[in-house]
Each structure stands twice: as structure tokens, then as C-alpha cells.
Amino acid sequence: MPFMHLLSDPGMNYTLNRPLLDGTSPARLKEVGALAPQIKDYDSWHTAWLGLAKRAEAEKRWLDAASYYHGAEFYLPAGEVRNGLYDDFARTWALGMKGVAGYEPIAVPYPGGKLPGFRLRAKGQERSVFIFTGGYDSFVEEFYSFLLPLTELGITVIAFDGPGQGGALRQGIYLDHAWEKPAKAVLDYFELDAVDWLGASCGGYMSIRAAAFEPRIKHIISMPTSYSGLDMTLKQMRPGKAQELISLFKAGDRKGTEALVQRERLPSSVFEWCIVQGMHITGTKTPFDFLISIAESSLDGILHHVKQDILLTEGEQDHLFDVGWIHRTMRELVCARSVTARIFTAREGAEQHCQLGNSAVARHEIVRWLARFYPGMPIKENTAAATNVAA
């Protein structure tokens, strides 16, 4: 589905496109496109998506409703309203997936609750077990249609929300930089000795961090590559302000840091979203405490522990990440068995964050790369085909 440019704000425009990830019904495309004129800021965003969600639910279009409830909660601060909308999302998603062949909900025991997700078993002979996690703002269910075609190639997919994500966050399990902890929980629960691991968005950091300390992860896909949890937030600041913030933050100047963040928090800006969402997933109450928490998510001093094969990806027009982060990461992967980098372009329609607009091209690239390690794995054209899961 081509990436649409309907809103002037890059963050809201990107999020507007997310319900169209990897194949949707024409009805959803029409509905989402019609929202754009109604959206001026985060308040009108919430109102527009909530109305659309309620209408879809009344019409028993459960998966559309789930997607739209996710949209309605997306820019809200932490609290009961946002929690309630997550519950609406989870409820309608479950209704939409009830009875879907091959879809198996999972719940992995974890301190504070369970890590929810789903398993999709390989069709035919199993060649690989493929673990997936999202990032800073995703619900794992968003990626169902992206992951489903992998089962045709003999890949069993296990996808889950980890600390700070989706259903885990709803239980009060906040972000933990040490992603080897949820990795161990999942691998132990399913008694797995060898897996491939894909992390999307900030999950790109998580996949590398987990593999650095978990040898049962054999092949890593970081889509895209994130070096430090601070990087994405700093990238959204006005010229010169990022270095000023780092100076204040590293000096431990809470008052100065908070004052600068407040000046930079323009209403309905991507930077504002980074701060609000960051406090939500870390369970922190102030921007300074959020920055302390997110700064722990760094690959500095970690990458020499990575000894596996790794694929790093990025889109050349990613509004959240920077292509340069791939080069920094590659320079420090000195002990990896092999390192492959792939930058997707506008010519391919895959230039956006996580290749939104042509995510099937990213999936096909992943399959081509994995086939190096699994002789006989077919590289079918249908791995690049969209899958329609909209109800």
C-alpha cells in the first residue's frame, strides 16, 4: 500500500498510514483517508479515531475497530482513558481473530504478569523459529499480516509484547533496557535452543541487546537500527537544542533539563509525543526521569558481545531514526559472524520508518537473507505480497 502524504505533521501523517500496514481492505483505505481533514492536533486526532472505532465496532468490523481504537489511544498521556482504549483494542482484536486458523494466542509468565502475543505455526516442515517484537509504541498484533506469509516458508513465528509494550504495559510491566530478560523468558517457556529474532522500530535495539547476552538467538534482524534510546528523542529537537539538552542532562541539572524540554514541547509535535509516550512506557512522572530511564537503552559497550549473523536495515527518509546509526553500529560489530546492511529507498516505496508504504519489500529482503542459512528455503514472490486481514 503506497505511503500517503495527507497531513503536514510528519509524525501524525506516519501514524495515519499505520492501519494500512501490509494490505487492507479498500474500505479501510477510504475511511483512513477521510480522517485527514478532521485532524488538526492531538485532541482532534483522538476524537476522529474514536468515532471511527465506535462505528466499526457497531458494524462488527472487529479488526478495523481494533486498529482504530489503537489510533484513538496513540497520542494520549498515561491514565485510565488510555488504558480503557487499550482494553477496547484487545477486546475487538480477540473477537476479530476468533476462529482464525493457525492463530494461537500466547501468554508467557513474567515478573509482574504475562507477556502476551501469538504463535503462527509453520506450514509443512519447520525450518526455523522466528521471534518478533515491536518497539516504542507498537502493539504486537499490528504485525500479524506482516508475519503471516513467513509460515508458508516453513517458519514458525512467535510474536510478543515485552516490557513497556502493548498488553505487557497494560499490566504495569514497564520498559526494561535489558531485553535479554524477556528473551530468556520466551525461549525458556517454549523450550527453544535456536531461533531467529526480528525487532522492529526500537525493537531493533532490543533484538541486538537480547542477542548480545542470549546465544540461543542465532540470526538477528534489526529493522531499523537504533543505537541509543535517547537518539530518537534528540532527533526531534530544533537545531542546536539536542546538544544543550545532553549537556544539562549529563550534568544532572534536573531543573534546567525540565525547562528546556518544556520550551521544546510544542503542541502536537513529534518531540512532544516522544516525551509523553516515553513517560507512558517507562512509568515515569517527569521528562527528566524518563530521560534517565531511556538512556539505559544503549548499545554503547554492548556490540562486541554480538557473535551472530546480523541484518541491519533503514529507510532513507525515516523521520524518527537516522541512517547514520547503521554505520555507527556496523563499526562496533567487531565480533559478529557476519554483518549485512540494507538501506531502503523512495524508488522502492520503502523509504519510511519500518518501510511503511512497502513493508513487503522489507519482508522479502529478510527472507532472502535468512535463506543463506537455511538451504532449500524457497524465496517465493508471495513473501512480497500483501495479506488482507481487515474485516
Summarised one tens digit per residue, pLDDT across range 307-366 is 999 999 999 999 999 898 999 999 999 999 999 999 999 999 999 999 888 888 999 999
Within the chain, strands assigned E span 103-110, 113-120, 128-133, 155-160, 195-200, 217-223, 309-315, 338-344
In the DSSP assignment, the letter for residue 122 is P
The pLDDT tens digits for 254-306 are: 999 999 999 999 999 999 999 999 999 999 999 999 999 999 999 999 999 99
Checking if the pLDDT of 117 tops 70, the result is yes
User: What are the φ and ψ backbone dihedral angles of 164, each rounded to 5 degrees?
Assistant: 85, 10
Instruction: Identify the bridge partners of residue 133 per DSSP, sorted by sequence position.
Output: 199
Confidence band of 379 (pLDDT split at 50, 70, 90): confident
**pLDDT value for 83:** 98
Average pLDDT over residues 126-139: 96
Q: In the sheet that 103-110 helps form, which strands lie side by side, from edge to edge?
A: 103-110, 113-120, 155-160, 128-133, 195-200, 217-223, 309-315, 338-344
pLDDT at 20: 76
Do the beta carbons of residue 64 and residue 390 sit within 8 Å? yes
Look at residue 201 and give its three-state secondary structure. Answer: coil
Residue 72 phi, psi (nearest 5):
-65, -30
What per-residue confidence (pLDDT) applies to 386?
38
Mean pLDDT of the chain: 93
Average pLDDT over residues 54-68: 96
Predicted local confidence at residue 36, as pLDDT: 93
Arithmetic mean of pLDDT, 102-130 = 98
The predicted model gives 154-182 an average pLDDT of 98
Q: For strands 155-160 and 113-120, give the pairing.
A: antiparallel
Cβ distance 79 to 89 under 8 Å? Answer: no
Q: Please check whether residue 64 is in contact with residue 141, taking contact to mean a CB–CB distance below 8 angstroms.
A: no
pLDDT given for residue 19 in this prediction? 84
Pinpoint the alpha helices (H) of 121-236. 144-147, 166-170, 180-189, 203-213, 229-235
User: Strand 128-133 vs strand 155-160: parallel, antiparallel, or unpaired?
Assistant: parallel
Render pLDDT for 177-206 as a digit per residue (tens, 0 to 9).
999 999 999 999 999 999 999 999 999 999
pLDDT of res. 388: 32
Provide the pLDDT for residue 2.
79
Q: What is the pLDDT of residue 298?
A: 96
